[in-house]
Amino acid sequence: MSVQQRNLNGSSEIYKKISKFVPVNEWKVHAPLIEKINKLKKEKNAIILAHNYQTPEIYHGVADIAADSLALAVEAAKTSADKIIMCGVHFMAETAKLMNPNKKVFLPDMQAGCSLASSITGKDVRLLKQKYPGVPVVSYVNTSADVKAETDVCCTSANAVKVVESLNVEKVIFLPDQYLADYVAKNTKVKIISWKGTCIVHEQFTSKEIEDIKNQNPGIKVIAHPECPPDVIEASDFAGSTSGMIKYVKDNQPKKVMLVTECSMSDNVEADNPNVSFIKPCNLCPYMKKIDLEKILDCLENDTNEIILDNKTIEAARKSVIRMTEIGR
Ligand code: 13P
Ligand code: SF4
């Protein structure tokens, strides 16, 4: 599993690694914040978890653990810290809270949402269950706690096929990403009933773009996230979760690569793989980008933006996430 466990150095060491991606004038603003955050999180016994789409100064500068959404859920459950700061989006912070009901979990900006999570509500799932009685519900982890509370088992892009097949049934309701549902349907015999949610970042890529890049860069390896449209995945050499993509680059060390996903990923992975050259057409996730160092510091100093969930929702939603982590990758 590709979980980046950090032994954070002083800020000048960090800057050596990411100077290619962070202009020096920006770094002058980031460096004192990084020093403050790394000192304060020790004093407060807090841990910073960051998704792979966070900017390099967060990913390489203050994150104790950087990972994909499955590993973030697993790592959140293992921590002995009193406080968890989730540098990611709202559903990731809620998932961390579900795994740690007795700990304080913070999200640096409550507006850090997700187009997939907001495409479906708990009420929608109840209606679907009425329409398809007895058919189990598999929900992508990119959903609200209310949706998870109506779900039999969660999945992420790293384990979607395995989770669907673990149910040993002919049919499942698979929510909410239609493209991930297509990807799963192609890789299993189980019949998939899907929902029309999309990721605003990945739906924008086209197979024409991939073909053009391949023509302009002979030998390039193109790696796509399963939230991309099916023809984009088809045109790519490999598809996998964000950690799956990182592992592919680390293990294969291709001469040239393009990661068909959110922009910060390529910068973060390039900093760890200096011998690989990256072609970077990418799309920004406006939600992930709501997180910055100032807001992280504010969480640490003032306990801002704590995730609060009622016990009934925690009870119901937690089961579907735990079931997923037991199935693994
Ligand atoms: P991963 O589970 O692959 O990290 O993806 C999360 C996400 O939000 C991708 O858009
Ligand atoms: Fe949601 Fe897409 Fe952003 Fe991931 S990249 S948080 S799926 S909108």
Note whether 77 and 88 are same-domain residues. yes
Domain contains 138: yes
Other CB atoms within a 10 A radius of the CB of residue 229 amount to 20
Note whether 216 and 135 are same-domain residues. no
- With a 6 Å cutoff on the Cβ, whether 142 touches ligand 2 is yes
Distance CA 292, CA 54 (A): 9
- With a 6 Å cutoff on the Cβ, whether 241 touches ligand 1 is yes
221 three-state secondary structure: strand
Note whether 176 and 221 are same-domain residues. no
Note whether 31 and 125 are same-domain residues. no
Ligand found nearest the CA of 177: 2
- With a 6 Å cutoff on the Cβ, whether 115 touches ligand 2 is yes
Domain contains 167: yes
Note whether 152 and 174 are same-domain residues. yes
Domain contains 104: yes
Domain contains 314: no
pLDDT of residue 114: 98
Question: Residue range 192-216: average pLDDT?
Answer: 97
Show the CA angle centred on residue 285, arms to residues 304 and 37, nearest 5°: 35
What does the pLDDT look like over 23-50, one tens digit per residue? Answer: 999 999 999 999 999 999 999 999 999 9
Instruction: Flag whether pLDDT at 2 surpasses 60.
Output: no
pLDDT of residue 8: 59
Tally of domains within the chain? 3
pLDDT of residue 73: 83
- Report DSSP state, residue 87: E
* Contact (Cβ atoms closer than 8 angstroms) between residue 112 and residue 290: yes
Q: Would strands 65-67 and 83-87 be described as parallel, antiparallel, or unpaired? A: unpaired
pLDDT of residue 287: 98
Note whether 211 and 271 are same-domain residues. yes
Show the CA angle centred on residue 31, arms to residues 28 and 36, nearest 5°: 140
What does the pLDDT look like over 224-278, one tens digit per residue? Answer: 999 999 999 999 999 999 999 999 999 999 999 999 999 999 999 999 999 999 9
What does the pLDDT look like over 139-157, one tens digit per residue? Answer: 999 999 999 999 999 999 8
Give the burial class of 251: count Cβ atoms within 10 A of its Cβ; 0-12 exposed, 13-18 middle, 19 or more buried. exposed
Ligand 1 atom with the smallest distance to the CA of 68 is 4
106 three-state secondary structure: strand
pLDDT of residue 11: 78
Ligand 1 atom with the smallest distance to the CA of 116 is 8
Domain residues for 208?
Answer: 202-278
What does the pLDDT look like over 122-139, one tens digit per residue? Answer: 999 999 999 999 999 999
Other CB atoms within a 10 A radius of the CB of residue 248 amount to 21
- Which neighbouring-strand residues pair with 306? 106
- With a 6 Å cutoff on the Cβ, whether 69 touches ligand 1 is yes
- Domain end marker among 199, 221, 249: 199
Q: Can you give the CATH number for the domain in which 236 is found?
A: 3.40.50.10800
Note whether 146 and 189 are same-domain residues. yes
What does the pLDDT look like over 157-197, one tens digit per residue? Answer: 889 999 999 999 999 999 999 999 999 999 999 999 999 99
pLDDT of residue 1: 40
Instruction: Name the residue of 4, 227, 262 whose CB sits within 8 Å of the most ligand 1 atoms, as the mutation to test its pocket.
Output: 227
Domain contains 152: yes
pLDDT of residue 5: 60
Domain contains 274: yes
* Contact (Cβ atoms closer than 8 angstroms) between residue 88 and residue 72: yes
* Contact (Cβ atoms closer than 8 angstroms) between residue 257 and residue 276: yes
* Contact (Cβ atoms closer than 8 angstroms) between residue 182 and residue 158: no
Ligand 1 atom with the smallest distance to the CA of 201 is 10
Instruction: Give strand ranges (E) for 88-220.
Output: 104-106, 137-140, 153-155, 171-175, 191-193
Helices (H), 44-68: 56-59
Note whether 179 and 142 are same-domain residues. yes
Domain contains 255: yes
Note whether 195 and 206 are same-domain residues. no
Question: Residue range 315-320: average pLDDT?
Answer: 96
* Contact (Cβ atoms closer than 8 angstroms) between residue 145 and residue 116: no
Query: Which of these, 309, 194, 226, lies nearest to 321 by C-alpha position?
Result: 309
- Which neighbouring-strand residues pair with 41? none
Listing DSSP states for 235-257 in one string gives: HSSEE--HHHHHHHHHHH--SEE
Note whether 76 and 91 are same-domain residues. yes
Note whether 214 and 188 are same-domain residues. no
Whole-number Å distance, alpha carbon 288 to ligand 2 midpoint, is 7
Note whether 57 and 33 are same-domain residues. yes
pLDDT of residue 324: 93
Confidence (pTM): 0.93
Ligand 1 atom with the smallest distance to the CA of 244 is 3
Domain contains 35: yes
- Report DSSP state, residue 119: G
What does the pLDDT look like over 55-108, one tens digit per residue? Answer: 999 999 999 999 998 888 888 888 999 999 999 999 999 999 999 999 999 999
